[in-house]
Amino acid sequence: MSDVLVVGGGLAGVEAAWALANRGFKVTLAEMKPHKKSPAHKSDNLAELVCSNSLKAERLGSAAGLLKAEMELLGSICVECAKKTKVPAGGALAVDRDEFSRLITEKIHSHPNITVESREVEKIPDGNVIIAAGPLASDTLAENIKALCGGSLSFFDAAAPIVTADSIDMESAFTQSRYDRGGEDDYINCPMNKEEYEAFYEALINAESAELHSFDKKKGVYEGCMPIEIMASRGADTMRFGPLKPVGLRDPRTGHRPWAVLQLRKENADGSMYNLVGFQTNLKFPEQKRVFSMIPALKNAEFVRYGVMHRNTFIDSPRLLQSDFSFRGRENLFFAGQMTGVEGYMESAAAGIMAGLNMALRLKGKETVTFPDFTMIGALSRYISDPTVKDFQPMGANFGVLPPLPEKIRDKKLRYEALSQRSMDYMRKECAKFNEV
């Protein structure tokens, strides 16, 4: 009889199972493949990479590289197998997708503490459970999760871009709430005059969109979350009566109402990141950088997340999850992976590690752990459980989620290296004791 049921054999699920099994617990890993596949999956193997073979940057001085370095210290099976199946890709950690999944599948099946069962879990059972069903969870399980969460479950990810606060040109922006309702610094306003707006509009309607996968092309995808480029295509002034409306605002530089205004809203309590309000988009990432940087206040903007539009089942984690990935009100139920609101393959895997580690700690009667917010894993854990986050949307690894350094380092490369070093100094000292749980 197993100690824990892990639902889902993606990257998060295998990490959670691996973390528990290596700490002596018997794990049942329930994966509906090959009996049943989501529209995105083709292989029968575990940990299948669907959309890309790139696991992003490998260098430590990058957010993605820091995340993988932290995961490696925690005994990640995905990082280990990625390094063994690596293919040349410049500075990125790209893998042979088939070999990566095959190797993980082999290691999971051969672990004496893991039993893999090919079956669909339709209802969350009682007992010790980790839900790592991924963004394409089966309809039956998704409905069961939705009921558990009080109806709070998103089936489509329509996220606007996020920029770092210190990259906004405040000489071209001003703080004010519309009609002065609310706090003075609730919003940063990025004004455009008529000429700037018209140039932005032309660039936007001619920008290249990303192609949706077949499993994303669902009827009603854009209801209530219309991409800004689709809105723009309906007329030159449509945005000025929508998210770029200037009414109720006055530019202190001119004393007049601007021609158009993009509002930025705080993404976190620290105010280190700002969301482009109403700018859900399906533009390709380089196009988002090019076009949105035409707004004067964003000319030097650092994008920590680009806008995305795709099917993505995720829960309202800030309301439902603790920072240790346990479900509020049911301490033996954990969630892991993209369903928690982390964005990306390795971010999902990291959530699996933390869910597995904390389940192990709980079963041994020990206190669960959330790493400090200056580590990438810790910052993401806190982001998905932060009740101050408004309009919760998935977030990937980026340096914007980390608290600033005590000292000001202007050079971005050196600043990122210092942020990474701060985390690694801590993780190298602390991780060993958790690997011995």
C-beta neighbour count of 42 within 10 angstroms: 10
Q: Does residue 393 contact residue 159 with C-beta atoms inside 8 Å?
A: yes
Residues 96 and 127 in one domain: yes
Beta strands 92-95 and 54-57, pairing class: antiparallel
Q: Are residues 355 and 340 in the same domain?
A: yes
Q: What is the mean pLDDT of residues 8-14?
A: 97
* pLDDT at residue 225, rounded to an integer: 64
**pLDDT, tens digit, for every residue of 247-268?**
999 999 999 999 999 999 887 7
What is the reported pTM?
A: 0.78
Residues 347 and 260 in one domain: no
User: How many domains in the chain?
Assistant: 2
Taking residues 167-178, what's their average pLDDT?
92
Provide the token pair at 64.
């993605």
On the question of pLDDT at 221 being above 50, the answer is no
Predicted pLDDT at 34: 81
Phi, psi of 4 (to 5 degrees): -140, 140
In this prediction, residues 324-343 reach a mean pLDDT of 95
Q: Are residues 255 and 338 in the same domain?
A: no
Range of the domain at 186: 162-306
What pLDDT does 267 receive? 79
Omega before 258 cis (within 30°)?
A: no
Please give the share of the chain, as a percent, with pLDDT higher than 70: 91
Is the same domain home to 375 and 266?
Answer: no
Q: Of 221-225, 358-362, 418-422, which range is least confident?
A: 221-225
Same structural domain, 209 and 332: no
